[in-house]
Amino acid sequence: MSKVTVIGAGMVGATCANVLAAREVADEVVLIDIKEGLSEGKMLDMYQASATTDFKTKLTGCTNDYAQTANSDVVVVTSGIPRKPGMTREELIGTNANIVKSVVSQALAHSPNAIFVIVSNPMDTMAYLTLKSTGLPKNRVIGMGGALDSSRFRCYLAKATGANIHDVDGMVIGGHGDTTMIPLTSKATIKGVPVSQFLSQEELAKVAADTMVGGATLTGLLGTSAWYAPGAAAASVVEAILGDQKRIIPCGYYLEGEYGQEDIMIGVPVVIGREGIEKIIEIELTDEEKAAFEASAAAVRKVNQILYDTNAI
């Protein structure tokens, strides 16, 4: 029997829970939130939907009762306040650090063997906080950002080329931020054919730029953070874990010398399976990509320092 807990019943958390349930990724999905009735209501809504969509996943909604999350295989953390138009992910750190640290400790008390997938922003720093505050092995703390950013990269590549999005392959590494993510245009392909055969350098630069502000674009349009793509991206990471899929997905991982970086959680391609992050893939970067990665790491470290300055860790 497999079990996943999603902490936070906002739009991202509820979408993640719905994707997990509809795809029958786990035998049971628990949705928990501090707000009275929110998770129960959303899970009841999903259960009613199962009558017509024919999934059989057990759905549990609860208000701040972590005992019901016991023995979860994976815990997805989406808790925190969402971005508003004009806000950066980094501006959320003060509030969200306290929230994430609290919910992670409560979940870990009931599921000591769980793998944690961190979605809360600023994601790289919240994943770093989770790792440092819990002492968990680094393979069991995963930052979801690269999976989401890569899906947005593939979206913009498909729109620019007219290709079927399922034929498009591309990854984004670096920090999960509007100025820190690095869409690897040099590695992107359509059915194995380099995208440079379909798009000019100017067009590729626009795709990369659109990808980097993909989240901010949606925040501007919606008035709050996006939820469909983030929720689905988190669910895809969970599915790779529980299905032992050995998929290569760019995710936040704790580096200890890889890519020339130490003591940092940042997006890199990793192999995800039943043990969480099972292997890091060190790909050859261009000189420009290497410089961008170093700048991205420096920016992430600057945000991480706030955790120490405020005694969060």
- pLDDT one-digit tens code per residue, 247-304: 999 999 999 999 999 999 999 999 999 999 999 999 999 999 999 999 999 999 999 9
Question: With 90 as the cut, is the pLDDT of residue 9 above it?
Answer: yes
Q: Which amino acid appears at position 213 of this protein?
A: V
Q: Which of 76, 176, 264, 265 is flagged as catalytic? A: 176
User: CA torsion, points 187, 303, 229, 189, in degrees to nearest 10?
Assistant: 0
| Stretch 53-72: mean pLDDT | 97
**Size of the chain in residues:** 313
Beta bridge pairs of residue 264: 255
Q: Mean pLDDT, to the nearest integer, of 191-202?
A: 97
CA-to-CA separations, 261 to 90, 210, 251, 265, 267, in angstroms, rounded: 21, 27, 15, 10, 12
Q: Which two tokens stand for residue 206?
A: 């626009």
d(CA 59, CA 168): 34
Give the domains, in start order, of the chain with CATH numbers: 3-145 (3.40.50.720), 146-309 (3.90.110.10)
Mean pLDDT of 180-186: 97
Cβ–Cβ under 8 Å, residues 196 and 275: no
181-183/172-174 β-pairing? antiparallel
φ/ψ of 266, rounded to 5, equals -155, 155
Q: Which amino acid is at 136?
A: L
Name the residue type at position 50: S
Going across the sheet that includes 189-190, the strands are: 168-169, 189-190, 193-194
pLDDT at 95 over 90: no
Contact criterion met (CB below 8 Å) for 47 and 15: no
Nearest CA among 128, 74, 134 for reference residue 104: 134
242-260 CB burial, b ≥16 within 10 A, e <16? beeeebebbbbbbbeeebe
How confident is the model at residue 165, as a pLDDT?
98
Q: Mind listing the pLDDT tens digit for each residue in 134-175?
A: 999 999 999 999 999 999 999 999 999 999 999 999 999 999
The per-residue pLDDT for range 205-251, each reduced to its tens digit, is: 999 999 999 999 999 999 988 999 999 999 999 999 999 999 999 99
CA-wise closest residue to 268 among 145, 94, 96: 145
Question: Across all residues in the chain, what is the average pLDDT?
Answer: 96
- What is residue 161's predicted lDDT score, i.e. its pLDDT? 98
Q: What tokens were used for 248?
A: 């290569």
Confidence at 311, pLDDT banded by 50, 70, 90? confident
Q: What is the pLDDT of residue 90?
A: 67
- In this predicted structure, what is the pLDDT of residue 81? 75
Verify whether residue 110 is a known catalytic residue: no
pLDDT of residue 313: 86
Confidence of residue 94 (pLDDT cuts 50, 70, 90): confident
